[in-house]
């Protein structure tokens, strides 16, 4: 039960809202991520897209490339078309030795629409579920054969957001479809991260750790904020700065023998939340929580 601690560049430069941290150089992000204590990082839009160049720039800072986001549209296209669409990203991850792909179903998502309340997200019709689950299962099997497994990211604003939707997705797919366990998105959706972890720890193959500020989350719901407005207003923060019990959330995962990455991924406006300050605080809290949860040791990559 050993783990690695990584981060995501979204605290420095936001992919969904490029104006947030848009002028922050990639080198600053990487240097500060390493200074905070992290040994790995996920992909951002300022990263090189070639495997050799990407690994070279990360190596200068002692960082491992962990994974990168892929937005799928399996509701609207078949497995062959999805494979064709993801091929460049999959090839990059595989060439860099990544074990998982951060994979979300983003067809009709409202996560990037600032004028649309996140509450108005798409919901799959009953007739869609069997088709979607069959496609996802077949894609998961194929990707496992390629050496990069799906880490399915439940995400606010998408069709897989609630615990019930996660339950249905995992119950209807083979073990080749892993779960990316995101504490912040579960809390935003009104769910208990620890309860989801207890049910599905054996399927969790990647972890995103972020906290939520309960007062701002209440306002986001009451005032029907969009996902992006919620980010800008500060609903999300790093572990230890909100209301989530990370030791409780991680304990079932430790008990299941998880030995992957714990990624601090907290979307905030870097002009309001100094990235290095928050990265250091999030790393220290998450490391202490992981120890309390029962993880025995830490690897560097």
Alpha carbon separation from 185 to 166, 217, 295 (Å, rounded): 12, 11, 23
3-state SS assignment for residue 208: strand
123 or 300: whose pLDDT is higher? 123
The H or E element that residue 102 is part of is strand 100-105
Task: Please give the mean pLDDT across all residues of the chain.
Answer: 96
Backbone phi and psi for residue 40, each to the nearest 5 degrees, phi listed first: -145, 165
Angle of helix 275-293 versus helix 246-255 axis, rounded to 10: 50
Q: Say if residue 88's pLDDT is above 90.
A: yes
pLDDT band at 285 (very low <50, low <70, confident <90, very high): very high
Q: Does residue 161 contact residue 155 with C-beta atoms inside 8 Å?
A: yes
pLDDT of residue 298: 81
Distance CA 54, CA 182 (A): 25
All structural domains of the chain, each given as residue ranges with its CATH number in brackets, are: 2-298 (3.20.20.150)
pLDDT band at 292 (very low <50, low <70, confident <90, very high): very high
pLDDT of residue 218: 98
The model scores a pTM over 0.75: yes
Q: Output the CA torsion sign for 39, 61, 183, 106.
A: negative
Q: Say if residue 1's pLDDT is above 70.
A: no
Alpha carbon separation from 164 to 33, 86, 182, 201 (Å, rounded): 35, 27, 15, 16
Distance CA 267, CA 224 (A): 19
Q: Say if residue 140's pLDDT is above 70.
A: yes
Q: Say if residue 301's pLDDT is above 80.
A: no
Q: Say if residue 21's pLDDT is above 90.
A: no
Q: Does residue 227 contact residue 157 with C-beta atoms inside 8 Å?
A: yes
Distance CA 114, CA 271 (A): 19
The H or E element that residue 40 is part of is strand 40-41
Q: Does residue 138 contact residue 79 with C-beta atoms inside 8 Å?
A: yes
Angle of helix 79-95 versus helix 128-146 axis, rounded to 10: 30
pLDDT tens figures, 207-253:
999 999 999 999 999 999 999 999 999 999 999 999 999 999 999 99
Which two structure tokens, joined as six digits, stand for 215?
Answer: 């007062």
pLDDT of residue 2: 81
Q: Does residue 218 contact residue 248 with C-beta atoms inside 8 Å?
A: no
258: left (phi over 0), alpha (psi -120 to 50) or beta: beta
Which two structure tokens, joined as six digits, stand for 42?
Answer: 């996920």
């Amino acid at each position: 039960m050993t783990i690695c601690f990584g981060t995501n560049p979204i605290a420095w430069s936001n992919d969904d809202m490029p104006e947030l941290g848009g002028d922050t150089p990639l080198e600053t992000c990487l240097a500060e991520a390493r200074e905070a204590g992290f040994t790995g990082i996920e992909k951002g839009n300022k990263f090189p897209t070639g495997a050799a160049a990407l690994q070279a720039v990360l190596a200068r800072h002692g960082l491992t490339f962990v994974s990168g986001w892929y937005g799928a549209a399996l509701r609207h296209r078949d497995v062959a078309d999805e494979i064709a669409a993801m091929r460049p990203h999959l090839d990059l991850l595989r060439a860099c030795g990544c074990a998982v792909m951060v994979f979300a179903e983003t067809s009709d998502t409202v996560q990037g629409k600032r004028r649309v309340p996140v509450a108005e997200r798409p919901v799959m019709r009953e007739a869609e579920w069997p088709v979607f689950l069959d496609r996802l299962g077949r894609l998961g099997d194929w990707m496992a054969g390629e050496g990069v497994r799906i880490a399915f990211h439940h995400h606010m604003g998408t069709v897989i957001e609630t615990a019930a939707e996660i339950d249905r997705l995992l119950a209807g797919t083979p073990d080749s479809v892993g779960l990316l366990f995101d504490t912040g998105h579960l809390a935003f959706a009104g769910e208990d991260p620890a309860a989801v972890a207890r049910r599905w720890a054996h399927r969790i193959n990647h972890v995103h750790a972020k906290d939520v500020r309960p007062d701002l989350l209440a306002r986001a719901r009451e005032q029907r904020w969009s996902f992006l407005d919620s980010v800008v207003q500060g609903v999300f923060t790093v572990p230890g700065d909100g209301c989530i019990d990370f030791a409780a959330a991680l304990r079932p995962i430790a008990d299941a023998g998880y030995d992957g990455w714990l990624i601090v991924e907290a979307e905030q406006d870097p002009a309001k939340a100094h990235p290095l300050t928050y990265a250091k605080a999030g790393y220290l809290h998450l490391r202490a929580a992981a120890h309390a949860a029962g993880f025995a040791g830490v690897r560097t990559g």
